[in-house]
Amino acid sequence: MVKKIVLGIDIGGTNTVFGLIEKSGNILFIEHIPTLGHEPADSLVNRLAEKVDSFLEDHPEGELAGIGVGAPNGNHYNGIVQDPPNLSWGYVDMVSLLREKFNCNVSLTNDANAAALGEKYFGIAKDMNDFITITLGTGLGSGIFSGGKILYGYDSLAGEIGHLSIDQNGRKCSCELKGCLEMYASAKGIKETVIELLQVNPGDDFLSSLDLDNVDGKMIDRAVDDGVESAISVYEFTAEKLA
């Protein structure tokens, strides 16, 4: 008996996570690959397809019925990923790329909106009609539900609080604005905070031990748990900006 399944894809600035899922929400397969944002988007799609095709070949009872994609600056209306701030893609017709590769229906939205939809249908927000989901990763995003419906706005980019400026003279963002919240409360924001604290205290043992090209949040977590003051300062500064 053929089992209809869907492919869910979360494109992040660092990693892309994807899984094959039953209608009930049961996850059959989950995997992740590095996004490699300096490469063309079709290279990512090809690498992803290799993993998915391999699973489907081993499970011929599964039929891919559709694909849902969450991507930074994903436009729900036209299927285009619009110049995502942490990827060097420009404008990419992601829906067409995936439809051509997998020959099925594809729906695209902003990654934070996708997270909000997940919470509404399968998570903590099942019984909520009005809520905001904030996603923290390489960048910062938000998905907004109002009156039981997600807010897309005119251009499908409503609620992008990551690019609201909280300091007009603050850190320069990849979107060319200064002081975007994303530049303080995200993985890249934490990296900038570490750099600034090192400039003030270059002899700090913990901060000096971090690889500034790949700041490891788990290392900071462990240091906070161990009571390392400089690590606590990083998170206190981040939390203050997010609040």
Q: Which of 86, 80, 98, 126 is nearest to 6 (CA)?
A: 98
Let me know: does 189 contact 238? Beta carbons within 8 Å: yes
- At 235, give phi and psi (nearest 5°): -75, -35
Q: What is the pLDDT along the chain (243 residues), one digit of tens a residue?
A: 678 999 999 999 889 999 999 988 889 999 999 999 889 999 999 999 999 999 989 888 888 999 999 998 899 999 999 998 778 999 999 999 999 999 999 999 999 999 999 999 999 999 999 999 999 888 898 999 999 999 998 888 787 888 899 999 999 998 889 999 999 999 889 999 999 999 999 999 999 999 888 888 888 999 999 999 999 999 999 999 988
Q: In degrees to the nearest 10, what's the CA dihedral of 49, 3, 23, 59?
A: -40
Per-residue model confidence (pLDDT) at position 39: 92
Strand 15-21 with 3-11, pairing? antiparallel
Let me know: does 141 contact 129? Beta carbons within 8 Å: no
Cα separation, 133 vs 124, whole angstroms: 11
Per-residue model confidence (pLDDT) at position 1: 67
Per-residue model confidence (pLDDT) at position 215: 84
Cα separation, 47 vs 240, whole angstroms: 39
- Numbers of helices and strands, H then E, in the chain: 7, 10
Let me know: does 94 contact 74? Beta carbons within 8 Å: yes
CB-side neighbour CA atoms (13 Å) of 188: 17
3-117 belongs to CATH 1.10.3720.10: no
- Domain borders along the chain are 3-117, 184-242
Cα separation, 72 vs 190, whole angstroms: 19
Let me know: does 141 contact 72? Beta carbons within 8 Å: yes
